[in-house]
Amino acid sequence: MAAASSTYLTKLLFLLVTLSGAPPLATALSFGINYGQIANNLPSPSRVSVLLRSLNITRVKLYNADPHVLTAFSNSGVDFIIGLGNEYLVNITDPVKAQDWIEQHVQPFIGWTGISCIVVGNEVFNTNNTQLMSYLLPAMQTVYTTLSNLGMEKQVTVTSAHTLNILGNSYPPSAGDFRQDLVGYIKPLLDFHSQIKSPFLVNAYPFFAYMYNPNEVPLDYVLFQPNPGMTDPKTNLHYDNMLFAQIDAIYSAIQALGHSDIVVRISETGWPSRGDPNEAGATPENARLYNGNLLQRIEQRQGTPAKPNVPINGYVFALFNENLKPGPVSERNYGLYYPDGTPVYDLGFQGYLPELVSAASCERVLYPMVLLVLVVYSMICPQ
C-alpha cells in the first residue's frame, strides 16, 4: 500500500509541476544528449529531468552512474547510457568487485529508471596507457558476465567509447583502417562486440578537423551545408559531410578486421560556441548550423552512404556548458544550454527549466497548490 501511495503522490507532483507553468511536451526528438556534470553551477538533477521532459528527449548519456540523476529520472521514460570510468577498469576485472558495482549502481534502479547500456571506459586507446588498454576487454567481459549471472544481459548491454584517433587512415572512407599498434587490442574487442551484439561507440568531432586545417577543410563540408562534397574513388559513393565519411571509415576499419555485423553509433558529437583565438570556427552560428543540420539528418533517419539502411544514431555533446572542464575555452562551451536554462543559440525548440524560488514565493504561490495536492491525495488514499 505504501508503494501505491508513493506512486499516486509522484503523479500528483508531476501535475503540480504542470500547473506551475511547464509547457506541454514537445514533439518527440530522436537524438540523445550527453549530460556532463563538470561544473559547479548546474541545476539539480530534478530540475534537469523537467527540462528534458519538456523537450521530450528520451535518451541520455552519463559519464558515471550518479544515483541522484538516476533517482531524479525515475519513471520519466528516459533511457540511460551510464559510464564506468577508466579509474575502475583495473578493479572491475574482479568478478566480486564487478558484481558489487552493478548491485550498487545498476540493479537498484532497474524497473524505475531505464538503463540500457554500460559504457566501460572512455577513450581508453587515446591515453597511451598500454596497461589500461589491456584491462579494457577483460573489464567489459566481466561486467557482461556479471549482468548475465544476474539475469540482466538482455536488458543492459556493454560497450566502450573511442575517439577517431584509433584510425590509422580515414580517407577515403573505404580505406579506413585501425592503427597497427592498436589492432592487437581492437580485434578481440570486435570479436566480443560481435558475440554479445553490442554497438561500437565513436566520439566524432569534425570540428577538430576544421580547427586544425581551416584553409584545407571546407567549412560547409563539416557543417552539413550545401557543398560539392567528395566521392570515394573506390566505392564511387558521394559524401556531402565529414561526419558520415568518418563513420564509414570506422565501418571500413571494422570490416578489414573481419566483421560486417557490428553497428557503429555516435556516442558524442558537437560543436563549441566559443573558443580560444586559435580555435577556428568556434562560434555560436557554426554550432547552431552543425547541431541543427545534424539533428535534421537524425530526424530524417538518414544512413551514411555505405550504410544507407542503418539510420545514424547519435548523442549530441552536450546538454550544458560546463565551467570546470580543463583545457581550451571550447571545452567549456559545447552546451546547448547555459546552466540557467536559456539556450546558447536557437535550434528551433524551447525547453523549460523550473526556476528556483524563494521561501516567500513558495509560501505565496506553491502553498495553496500543495494543499490542493494533499486534499486530492487524502481522497485517493484515505486513512
Catalytic residues: 123, 268
On the CB side of 32, CA atoms within 13 Å amount to 21
Give the count of beta carbons closer than 10 Å to the beta carbon of residue 14: 15
DSSP 211-248: HH-TTTS-HHHHTT-S---EE-TTT--EESSHHHHHHH
Question: What distance in Å separates the CA atoms of residue 144 and residue 228, rounded to the nearest whole number?
Answer: 45
* E strand or H helix at 14: helix 2-19
Question: What distance in Å separates the CA atoms of residue 326 and residue 143, rounded to the nearest whole number?
Answer: 30
Strand 157-163 to strand 114-122: parallel, antiparallel, or no bridges (unpaired)? parallel
3-state helix, strand, coil in the chain (%, to 5): 45, 15, 40
Using CA atoms, how far residue 4 sits from 11, 62, 164, 210, 259, in Å, is 11, 30, 49, 55, 49
Burial (CB < 10 A; 0-12, 13-18, 19+), residue 64, is: middle
Beta bridge partners of 118: 82, 158
Closest listed residue to residue 246, CA positions, set 203, 288, 216, 280: 203
Q: What are phi and psi of 367, to 5 degrees?
A: -55, -45
